[in-house]
Amino acid sequence: MQTSPYNCTVIGKILLTPDLMILRIRTDEPRTQFKAGQFTTIGLMSNESRSANSVMPVEDAKPNSLITRPYSIASANYDTSEFEFYISQVKSGQLTPRLFDLTQGRRMWIDDKILGVFDLNSVAEGNNIVMIATGTGLAPYMSFLRSHIKDHHNVKLAVIHGAAYQWDLGYYSELQFIQAAFPNFFYFPTLLKPDGSWSGLTGYIEKHLEGEVLQKAGFEIEPCKTQFFLCGNPKMVESVTAYLSKNNYMKNCENGGLHVEEY
């Protein structure tokens, strides 16, 4: 008889939209200490059902195989048994339609390794931190803020989050709350397709960087003063990198001031 590879249980699932969710799981055994910003790999067997709103991929996964993908951890790093993930559904994907069909209490697989060098807490003492994300690229920043905001009260911190619609702004209330509670934290959500009820920023993230939204909040755009983190859509990463390179930033190198994770 084959034994199940499953080693964790779904303890919460919040569907923010039919294609965007927060998933919480509890591992059977605690993981080792990790750094905020890192990712792990989760998975489901190919015989698990797919969500009703997904579409069949051209080629489905092999029968009786474990489908695995990496996901950034959104929860604080002081809890090594309960993990939160912020996941968008790729309707024709292999894993996400199966994840979206999960319900509380269901079993799944999680790797015992937690990996990645997108570690926000390694920033030099006294540097400001700007965290830029599109979509679910926000996840590592939620882990960082939940784990470390208290350690960074003497520098400025900002989150710039780009999304299409209001309902795609996951963690909006929590980020608004952090902004109200911590005067050194600035939250700039910007929407590409807002409706009439939205009075915040609109358009691409690059437009607001060019418009000096950060300088107006007191950030100096110099690699030795403000570190930038970019996570999400490769097009956003490319154009924000181009803007920052005009200001002497260099990607993923020591003292370059620019840290990138692409999904």
Ligand X SMILES: Cc1cc2nc3c(=O)[nH]c(=O)nc-3n(C[C@H](O)[C@H](O)[C@H](O)COP(=O)(O)OP(=O)(O)OC[C@H]3O[C@@H](n4cnc5c(N)ncnc54)[C@H](O)[C@@H]3O)c2cc1C
Residue 141: CB minimum distance to ligand X, A:
11
Alpha-carbon span 157 to 248, nearest angstrom: 20
86, containing H or E segment: strand 82-88
Among 139, 155, 178, 191, binds ligand X (CB under 6 A): 139
Closer residue to ligand X in complex, CB, 91/107 = 91
Site for ligand X in 207-246 (CB under 6 A): none
Q: Tell me if 39 contacts ligand X by CB under 6 A.
A: yes
Q: Tell me if 263 contacts ligand X by CB under 6 A.
A: yes
Q: Tell me if 18 contacts ligand X by CB under 6 A.
A: no
Beta carbons of 129 and 229 less than 8 angstroms apart: yes
Q: Tell me if 134 contacts ligand X by CB under 6 A.
A: no
Q: Tell me if 170 contacts ligand X by CB under 6 A.
A: no
Q: How many residues bind ligand X (CB under 6 A)?
A: 19
Q: Tell me if 87 contacts ligand X by CB under 6 A.
A: yes
Alpha-carbon span 61 to 54, nearest angstrom: 15
- Starting at the earlier edge strand, list the strands of the sheet with 257-262: 201-202, 185-191, 157-163, 128-134, 226-232, 257-262, 250-251
Q: Tell me if 69 contacts ligand X by CB under 6 A.
A: yes
Q: Where are the alpha helices (DSSP H) in the chain?
A: 96-100, 139-148, 172-181, 205-210, 213-216, 234-245
262 forms beta bridges with 232
Residue 66: CB minimum distance to ligand X, A:
12
Alpha-carbon span 239 to 19, nearest angstrom: 26
Residue 63: CB minimum distance to ligand X, A:
16
Q: Tell me if 71 contacts ligand X by CB under 6 A.
A: yes
Beta carbons of 90 and 9 less than 8 angstroms apart: no
Stretch that binds ligand X, among 67-75, 165-173, 202-210, 234-242 (CB under 6 A): 67-75
Closer residue to ligand X in complex, CB, 85/186 = 85
Q: Tell me if 128 contacts ligand X by CB under 6 A.
A: no
